[in-house]
Amino acid sequence: MNKIKLNWKKITAVIVMVVIYIAVLIACNNIDKTEMVSTDGRTFEKAVVTEITKDNLLEDGSRAGEQEVILRINSGELKGQEVEATSPDGMLFGATCEVGMKVIAIVSISDGNNLVTVYSQDRSMAIYGFVAFFVLCVCLVGGWKGFKSILSLAFTGVTILFILFPLMYRGYSPILMSVIICTIATIFSMAMIGGLSTKTVAATIGTVIGVVASAVAAMVFGHFAGIGGYNVSDVENLIYVQQITSIKVGELLFAGIIISALGAVTDVGVSVASTVQEIHNTDPHLGKRKLFMSGIHVGRDMMGTMVDTLILAYVGTALSTLVTNYAYDLSYNQLINSNNIGIEIMQSLAGSLGIVLAVPITAFVAVELIYRKPKTEKAVADHSAQEEKGPEGIPVSEH
């Protein structure tokens, strides 16, 4: 009966939290956005290429100019109609059309006249299929925990897209909101994967402090290096956005560091907290100092790989810029003092610093929480651990 009552309590608590979360989602997204680009009469529709009336293939095999094609529109106001369209030969827009290819078309309707242009190949099914394959692999390999990891990832994505972004749009501080959202996402992820326990609390505290430390370190570095949120490459777009919205674009760079460091810092926090808990369960009489140092030793082994992972991730995202700089053979003084290189260094080192600081913080909090348990609860845990061993400390299964 107690278990049944406890389960009902958990179910009720989950239902209440889900209702609150949905209410927050609705409230945050109940906003009227300022129109930045006029889209009257212009829509993006699904279409299929039925005929190529004029190709842009040259004798040497290259392409130049535009293709002229016939499209069958499969959505929107012109659904079911075949219309003439052009497909520009561009790197960012247009597509090399073939008969039967699915594309996205820009349909502009004005005074009864239709102007149709191929925007890109229709990548929707490829994206959906890749996501489904990823989810399937995680669930097959990870089992129930893999499924909970997917739920955690989905929760984080929805929270960022439909709570963090609307709050920033309303004018709230991106840095503060990122810290709050990352805290909520971390608590949910830890609770889903590890359940509610001391190690979950320790990992959450270590993770949050780690990502906050990353942001603080980045802001300090930015102050002394003269790098801020307006030194990014698309600063013109940001200034335009700031002029007509309430978004504090100057803080977006540092908020991004908090979000990007969250995953790696979470991994370290969970591993250190779990290790400390497992060592304590194995040897409940181990002293606080030795237990803390055990967590530090595990954290040290993880720091090297996780720091490499985070820095290489930043290098990967900036690879095009780095290769371009290498090809132009820029001088050292020009390169090291450029905004792009300074921002990449700030992001990678600040995030890595969050990983490093998360190790001792998580280990310390985990040890303190373990030894601050009520004596009765701790005695029961110690007794249970001891029962699993024989009189000589050998596991019962080995006798």
Residue 190 near residue 203 (C-beta atoms within 8 A): yes
Question: Could you report the per-residue pLDDT of 25-61, keeping only the tens digit for each?
Answer: 999 998 888 888 777 888 999 999 999 999 888 878 7
Cα distance between residue 310 and residue 314, in whole Å: 6
Residue 204 near residue 211 (C-beta atoms within 8 A): no
Residue 122 near residue 151 (C-beta atoms within 8 A): no
Burial (Cβ within 10 Å: 0-12, 13-18, ≥19) of residue 37:
exposed
Instruction: Please name every residue paired with 44 in a beta bridge, in sequence order, or none if there are none.
Output: 106
Cα distance between residue 44 and residue 108, in whole Å: 9
Instruction: Please name every residue paired with 86 in a beta bridge, in sequence order, or none if there are none.
Output: 68, 117
pLDDT of 126 > 90? The answer is: yes
pLDDT of residue 374: 58
As a whole number, mean pLDDT of residues 266-285 equals 88
Q: DSSP for 266-313?
A: HHHHHHHHHHHHHHHHH-TT--HHHHHHHHHHHHHHHHHHHHHHHHHH
Regarding predicted confidence, which is higher, 1 or 21? 21
pLDDT of residue 6: 53
CATH for 42-122 is 2.40.50
pLDDT of 375 > 80? The answer is: no
As a whole number, mean pLDDT of residues 229-237 equals 82
Q: How confident is the model at residue 377 (pLDDT cuts 50, 70, 90)?
A: very low
pLDDT of residue 398: 44
DSSP E strand stretches across 25-100: 42-54, 66-73, 82-88
For residue 197, what is the DSSP state? S
Residues 285-304 as b/e (b if ≥16 CB within 10 A, e otherwise) read eeeeeebbebbbebbeebbe
Rounded to two decimals, what is the model's pTM? 0.80
As a whole number, mean pLDDT of residues 135-161 equals 90
pLDDT of residue 396: 44
Question: Checking phi first, is residue 226 left (phi over 0); if not, alpha (psi -120 to 50) or beta?
Answer: left
Question: Could you report the per-residue pLDDT of 84-122, keeping only the tens digit for each?
Answer: 999 988 777 888 899 999 999 999 988 778 899 999 999
Closest CA to 87 of 75, 98, 100, 76: 98
3-state SS class at 82? strand
Q: Mean pLDDT, the chain, as a whole number?
A: 85
Residue with tokens 């810029």: 321
Cα distance between residue 51 and residue 389, in whole Å: 77
Task: Tell me if 42-122 shares its fold with 173-372.
Answer: no
Chain centroid to CA 223: 26
Closest CA to 245 of 300, 168, 309: 168
3-state SS class at 54? strand
Cα distance between residue 219 and residue 225, in whole Å: 10
Q: DSSP for 8-37?
A: HHHHHHHHHHHHHHHHHHHHHT---PPP-S
Q: 173-372 has which fold?
A: Multidrug efflux transporter AcrB transmembrane fold (1.20.1640)
Q: Would you kindly state where each structural domain of the chain is located, as residue ranges?
A: 42-122, 173-372
pLDDT of residue 389: 46
Query: Letter for the amino acid at 63?
Result: R
Question: Could you report the per-residue pLDDT of 161-211, keeping only the tens digit for each?
Answer: 999 999 999 999 999 999 899 888 888 888 777 677 788 889 889 999 999
Residue 347 near residue 255 (C-beta atoms within 8 A): no
